[in-house]
């Protein structure tokens, strides 16, 4: 990216108008000034000066971004292990006792990473259960080979493969927001892996409108990477905390949440672009799978808030619960989007209730 910007600078410099040097003349000749040697009025040089100024600013911003990426990655290093799957390398954290029955797999939403599910809910569950937290492909410390591998279908396949390599046959999945669509897809395409599904403020259905113009721009070839590798990280340092506060409403964001959840990792160019692709392709993805929700046979518990403005309960949670046979819907009147932070004890109770019912049903079947 920096080399590309320097090449633009050199092009602008070489092709900028300048005053030519007079050609040498033989003795006795009168020096003649041709039109091409005439001084170019200063106003004619303004466009090239503007181009050089813009390119110079972009180069500086690209350098600042690269320095910022190094600083962010030093501040928030990977906490777990890497598992290679087809098309991605997934970072996961495996905590809690190994001999505690069915494990719990936790999947974060958009614009975040596994730390958003770890504190406080994951740590709370890990006191008595094995908990596996996964950075979705392209997020946190997980990488994916293709930015276009952004759909719940593809990511469900990658996560299923990773769990197979871990030796996890079945698990209860706890999914938040964007990963509501991912959890539903796991239950549809990999039903043998999903013993149960707990969905927190899930995205499940198509909605009116888009996902923010800036995400569409970032997902645009050439322009998106140019912006992501220059202005996203410097600008994001100022906007990430106010943005996080809005997602928590009407609850108050906990002090230190942005740092505790490693949110600045999102500002790295490759992750910011991956996140944008995830968001701009999500509507089409849920539109394609919504007709299959009646096929889900695993027990499902959905917890959502009435005033959630990020993922509206009437558009997603309620129609999903009405479609899935073995489902339980809990809607709280004063709950915002960050369910796992606002009511972790309630979520823990519902997860453990589901685990108990699964164990009882399994024992009866045996």
Q: Which domain holds residue 156?
A: 81-365
Cα(118)–Cα(134) distance, rounded to whole angstroms? Answer: 10
Cα(95)–Cα(334) distance, rounded to whole angstroms? Answer: 31
Structurally, the chain folds into a number of domains equal to 2
Q: What is the mean pLDDT of the chain?
A: 90
Instruction: Say yes or no: 187 and 254 in one domain.
Output: yes
Instruction: Say yes or no: 199 and 340 in one domain.
Output: yes
Residue 29 falls inside a structural domain? no
Instruction: Say yes or no: 322 and 190 in one domain.
Output: yes
Amino acid 44: pLDDT = 67
Q: Are strands 104-107 and 131-134 parallel, antiparallel or unpaired?
A: parallel
Amino acid 25: pLDDT = 44
Instruction: Say yes or no: 298 and 186 in one domain.
Output: yes
Domain stops at, among 75, 94, 121: 75
Instruction: Say yes or no: 59 and 145 in one domain.
Output: no
Residue 283 falls inside a structural domain? yes
Compare 249 and 366 and report the one with higher pLDDT.
249
The pLDDT tens digits of the residues spanning 110-157 come to: 999 999 999 999 999 999 999 999 999 999 999 999 999 999 999 999
- The SS3 of residue 152 is helix
Domain stops at, among 50, 75, 100: 75
Instruction: Say yes or no: 190 and 60 in one domain.
Output: no
Cα(327)–Cα(343) distance, rounded to whole angstroms? Answer: 20
Answer whether residue 49 shows pLDDT above 60: yes
Instruction: Say yes or no: 311 and 325 in one domain.
Output: yes
The pLDDT tens digits of the residues spanning 176-229 come to: 999 999 999 999 999 999 999 999 999 999 999 999 999 999 999 999 999 999
The pLDDT tens digits of the residues spanning 76-97 come to: 999 999 999 999 999 999 999 9
Residue 250 CB coordination number (10 Å):
12
What's the pLDDT band for 22 if we cut at 50, 70, 90? very low
Range 36-53 burial, b when 16+ CB lie within 10 A, else e: eeeeeeeeeeeebeebbe
- The SS3 of residue 90 is strand
The pLDDT tens digits of the residues spanning 303-326 come to: 999 999 999 999 999 999 999 999
- The SS3 of residue 33 is coil
Residue 303 falls inside a structural domain? yes
Instruction: Say yes or no: 235 and 324 in one domain.
Output: yes
What's the pLDDT band for 37 if we cut at 50, 70, 90? low
Residue 4 falls inside a structural domain? yes
Q: What is the mean pLDDT of residues 279-288?
A: 98
Amino acid 13: pLDDT = 41
Amino acid 45: pLDDT = 75
What's the pLDDT band for 21 if we cut at 50, 70, 90? very low
Residue 116 falls inside a structural domain? yes
Amino acid 39: pLDDT = 52
What's the pLDDT band for 51 if we cut at 50, 70, 90? confident
φ/ψ bin of 351: left (φ > 0), alpha (ψ from -120 to 50), beta (otherwise): alpha
Instruction: Say yes or no: 300 and 198 in one domain.
Output: yes
How many angstroms separate the first and last alpha carbons of the chain? 60
Residue 24 falls inside a structural domain? no
Range 293-331 burial, b when 16+ CB lie within 10 A, else e: beebebbbbbbbbeebebbbbeebbbebbebbeebebbb
Domain stops at, among 23, 54, 75: 75
Residue 27 falls inside a structural domain? no
Answer whether residue 24 shows pLDDT above 70: no
Instruction: Please name which of 135, 141, 110 lies closest in space to residue 219, comparing C-alpha atoms.
Output: 110
Query: What's the gap between Cα 357 and its chain centre?
Result: 33
Residue 52 falls inside a structural domain? yes
Cα(124)–Cα(343) distance, rounded to whole angstroms? Answer: 12
The answer to whether 259 and 137 have CB atoms below 8 angstroms apart is no
Instruction: Say yes or no: 280 and 188 in one domain.
Output: yes
Answer whether residue 287 shows pLDDT above 50: yes
What's the pLDDT band for 9 if we cut at 50, 70, 90? very low
Answer whether residue 11 shows pLDDT above 70: no
Q: Provide the sign of the torsion angle of the four alpha carbons 148, 150, 154, 155, taken in this order.
A: positive
Instruction: Say yes or no: 66 and 192 in one domain.
Output: no
CATH number where 258 lies: 3.40.50.1820
Instruction: Say yes or no: 102 and 54 in one domain.
Output: no
């Amino acid at each position: 990216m920096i080399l590309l910007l320097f090449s633009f600078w050199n092009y602008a410099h070489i092709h900028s108008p300048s005053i030519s040097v007079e050609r040498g003349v033989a003795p006795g000749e009168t020096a003649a000034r041709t039109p091409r040697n005439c001084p170019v009025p200063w106003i004619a040089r303004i466009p090239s000066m503007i181009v050089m100024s813009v390119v110079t600013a972009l180069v500086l911003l690209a350098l600042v971004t690269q320095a910022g990426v190094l600083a962010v990655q030093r501040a928030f290093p990977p906490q777990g292990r890497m598992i290679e799957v087809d098309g991605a390398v997934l970072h996961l954290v495996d905590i809690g006792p190994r001999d505690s029955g069915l494990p719990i797999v936790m999947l974060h939403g958009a614009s975040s990473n596994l730390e958003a599910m770890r504190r406080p809910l994951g740590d709370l569950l890990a006191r008595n259960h094995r908990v596996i937290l996964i950075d979705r492909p392209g997020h946190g410390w997980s990488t994916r080979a293709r930015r276009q591998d952004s759909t719940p279908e593809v990511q469900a396949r990658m996560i299923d493969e990773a769990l197979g390599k871990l030796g996890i046959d079945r698990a209860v999945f706890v999914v938040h927001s964007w990963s509501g669509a991912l959890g539903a897809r796991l239950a549809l395409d990999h039903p043998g892996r999903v013993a149960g599904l707990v969905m927190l403020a899930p995205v499940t259905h198509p909605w009116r409108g888009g996902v923010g113009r800036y995400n569409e721009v970032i997902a645009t070839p050439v322009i998106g990477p140019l912006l992501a590798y220059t202005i996203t990280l410097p600008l994001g340092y100022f906007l990430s905390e106010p943005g996080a506060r809005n997602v928590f409403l009407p609850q108050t964001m906990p002090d230190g949440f942005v740092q505790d959840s490693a949110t600045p990792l999102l500002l790295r160019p490759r992750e910011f672009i991956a996140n944008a692709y995830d968001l701009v392709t999500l509507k089409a993805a849920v539109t394609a799978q919504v007709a299959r929700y009646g096929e889900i046979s695993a027990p499902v518990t959905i917890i959502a808030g009435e005033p959630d403005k990020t993922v509206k309960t009437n558009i997603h949670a309620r129609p999903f619960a009405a479609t899935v046979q073995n489902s339980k819907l809990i809607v709280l009147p004063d709950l915002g989007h960050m369910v796992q932070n606002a009511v972790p004890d309630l979520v823990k109770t519902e997860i453990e209730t589901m685990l108990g019912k699964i164990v009882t049903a399994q024992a009866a079947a045996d």
